[in-house]
Structure 1
Amino acid sequence: MNVGKALSVLGNKVLLVDMDSQGNLSQCFGVHEPADQVIDSLLGSSPLPMLEVGERLFLTPSDIRMAYKESELANAIGADRRLTVKLEEARSQFDYILIDCPPSLGICTTCSLVASNHCVVPIQPEASAYHGVESLFNRIAEVRTYINPSLTVKGIVFTMVHKNQSVHKSMMTHIRDTYRNFHIYDAVVEVSTVIKQSQVAKEDLYSYAPKSPSWQQYHQLATEIMTL
């Protein structure tokens, strides 16, 4: 949400695609139980719905209905390329298309990787999150090998960081060393009450707290994404 907003504030036309059946991205924009959503388009002939949620900012929403139909999608012909096909017409309309993936490696994440040119990988500097990322990198490698050779890891971003915790500091150092062949963004998104408050208010940080350090962190990340 906030990366997309920052990119739009920087003058880009942005589409946000919610591929997570929890629908958190959609809910943050106040979109609940959308009549037209991603899964309906992927399983049918209709184009992806695109709701205008801000200046130069559009949303393709989802909700729990995606979870109910995920197995149907997985068994459909050409399942992993369906999002790619649906996005083809939209690519020329937008400067950036950001796909919000679920925290799993199921068909929705695979669809997203197949449809993408680049991945931005968020990592919380905790042992459990670090170990989970290895599986993601393996999946990215498989998609590159068998389906989408143009897919690259654009960068790794540290998120939900407690900068004053020695555990987080040491883990970030370890991750930088382990993944030194990947770009790691200078922008670091710290744990912040204002982020949680903005989510409750269903507002992006630019609208809710434009002078907050949290907004500046997302703005810096978006700037890095554009320039690197």
Structure 2
Amino acid sequence: MSSTPPAPRPKRDMVALISTVAAVVGVVVAVLAWRWPEAPPSEQDQKAVTAPTTTGGTATSPAPAGGTPAPSAAAYLDALPVKGGSLAEVPRKIRDQADYRSHPIAVACPSNQIGDKATEVTWQLDRNYVEFHADVRPYYPAAGEQRAVTYVTALKGVRQRDTTDKFEEMGSQKTARPGGSAPISADLDGGDTLTLKIECQYPGGFVILTDARLVPAG
């Protein structure tokens, strides 16, 4: 009895097998792609997409660059340092009188000897002030000198290229008498210093300036 060899499988069985294998591979690839973590973004990418965080409060801008601002309020001479010369104490006899309480400064009269004909006091301005104002109140303790003549001159100093100061008279007061007062004003625009020059008919007296103040530039 002879055996008959098996018939070859149809081609469609091979095609079905290939399709099944391809489908399985596709599913595996899809699952791996879903479970595999994405690569982290680079540091540069993080900087590009990450918004800055704040800890609260209001953001502030940096202060603009610039020099020191000029004073914004009037400055009284009794609160400013003296650059040259010296002030005197307001005499005790008049210190508590109402007329002498408002920001007084006192300058002693010169001795009127050779080389001491005037007393000068200087303040540094650095061109921060444009005006000077004060009330001049001469004072002599001696009763016989109540009609003494005193002169107050305001000088503006402007710094030159050779570092010296050029002085210009900007105001004066020559009518004030002891027991009374008279105003003095001076234009200080562009001035580096203010110098008050005091001249007296007799020594031993004082020139008191009340409300002596500087008006700031700007």
Q: TM-score, normalised by structure 1?
A: 0.21
> Comparing both structures, which one devotes a greater share of its residues to strand?
2
> Comparing both structures, which one devotes a greater share of its residues to helix?
1
Q: TM-score, normalised by structure 2?
A: 0.22
Q: Larger C-alpha radius of gyration, 1 or 2?
A: 2
